[in-house]
Chains A and B, each alone.
Chain A
Amino acid sequence: MQGALTRYRIIAWIVGMVLLALTLGMVLKYGPTKDATLVETVGFFHGFLYMVYLIATFDLSRRVPWPFKRMVLVMLAGTVPFLSFWAERHVTRHWVPEPAPALSE
């Protein structure tokens, strides 16, 4: 489960950062500069990364396991700029049990 959590956290961070870049690109595109380069560069990758995020979230949710609503909530949280980082922290701290202490010799 800890492996699934690590995978989720990594992809959540990546998707969060790319989402911020995409938001900035949207601001540039529809804002003052009308420059769509950033959106065109980042947008396509964000689609694929979000797919990976969905798969990682699904994997984590069935391992813990979470109720269905919580899984959908976490999946949707990955689409909101800035909120995705908070959601990742909340998931790590409250929604995944602590790892069992390692057996000592």
Chain B
Amino acid sequence: MKGLWTPAWMGRHLLALVLTAGCFVLGWWQFSRAADGNSISWGYMFQWPVFGGFVVFIWWREVQLARRRAAGEPVTEPEQPAPSAPAPPDAPVALGRPVRVAVRSAAGATPDPELDAYNDYLAWLAANPGARPADYARRTVR
């Protein structure tokens, strides 16, 4: 691919190579110091390769980003699409993100006299703003 061999990218590849090699050389130097009896160098010996690995990681990520841009793909990962079909009823229950589902309207399902009475009371309250609750009770008695 040509996009990764431009002068700017050659510079980046070279920088990554030099930094990684430098980190590993420094790690090797610490190893030789540790072998000479400098006990603190044992710790440094393990840290330098980690920094070298970090350079490789950044380099790899930049290359991937450039390739995606060149291919016209989205730079960030696309959102996981929602499962198209609902799971069959006998599918094992799995944990997942809470999903918004359509709720069936409860109106007209089953007659509920208690609810009807309450709705009637609310309607009466709305129709008579200044009324006291006791007046409603008197009205029903009448």
A binding-site residues for B, Cβ under 8 Å: 40, 43-44, 47-48, 51, 54, 58, 68
Contact = CB atoms under 8 A, between A and B. Distances in A.
Contacts of A47: 43-44, 47
15 contacts: A43-B43, A44-B43, A44-B44, A44-B47, A47-B43, A47-B44, A47-B47, A48-B47, A51-B47, A51-B51, A54-B51, A54-B54, A58-B58, A68-B12, A68-B62
Contacts of B54: 51, 54
B50 A43 contact: no
Nearest to B47: A47
A60 to B, nearest CB: 14
A40 B44 contact: no
Contact of A51 (B12, B50, B62): B50
Interface in B75-115: none
B123 interface: no
A11 to B, nearest CB: 15
B134 to A, nearest CB: 36
Contacts of B51: 51, 54
Interface string B32-65: 0000000010011001001100100010001000
Contact of B40 (A43, A48, A68): A43
**Top 7 closest A-B pairs, CB basis?**
A47-B47, A44-B43, A40-B40, A54-B54, A68-B62, A51-B50, A47-B44
A48 B48 CA distance: 10
Given A51-B50, A51-B54, A43 B62 contact: no
B44 A43 contact: yes
A43 B50 CA distance: 16
Contacts of A54: 51, 54
A48 B51 CA distance: 10
Nearest to B12: A68
A48 B44 CA distance: 10
